[in-house]
Amino acid sequence: SQKIEQNSEALNIQEGKTATLTCNYTNYSPAYLQWYRQDPGRGPVFLLLIRENEKEKRKERLKVTFDTTLKQSLFHITASQPADSATYLCALSSGGYQKVTFGTGTKLQVIP
């Protein structure tokens, strides 16, 4: 069955450093990979989408890579700030009617 793995342990980093979150998947050939941010008690917020034929995408301090050979995506936040503290969800889609499967997320804590 399809499986999306994100590090369930919280990631603690110092303010100003680059945070790197990992998303691995198995038994899946996604056309799209997305990253969302979720704050406690709130709905996820869409951050970035990368297509299977793209290697890298950037948006401000965010960078996403997508390696379909390794079946892995890396999500980077450069110059991290305490306000970046949240849970980050990886999500995959095969396109079509756009059904999306979400990972369980990684909690990021940026320490001042």
Q: What are phi and psi of 66, to 5 degrees?
A: -140, 110
Candidates 10, 70, 79, 100; binder of other proteins (CB under 8 A) is 100
Candidates 53, 60, 97, 112; binder of other proteins (CB under 8 A) is 97
Q: Which residues pair with 63 in a beta bridge?
A: 58, 76
Nearer to other proteins, 45 or 79 (CB): 45
Which of 34, 69, 35, 63 minimizes the C-alpha distance to 51? 34
> Interface with other proteins by CB under 8 A: which residues?
4, 32, 34, 36, 41-46, 49, 89, 93, 95, 97-105
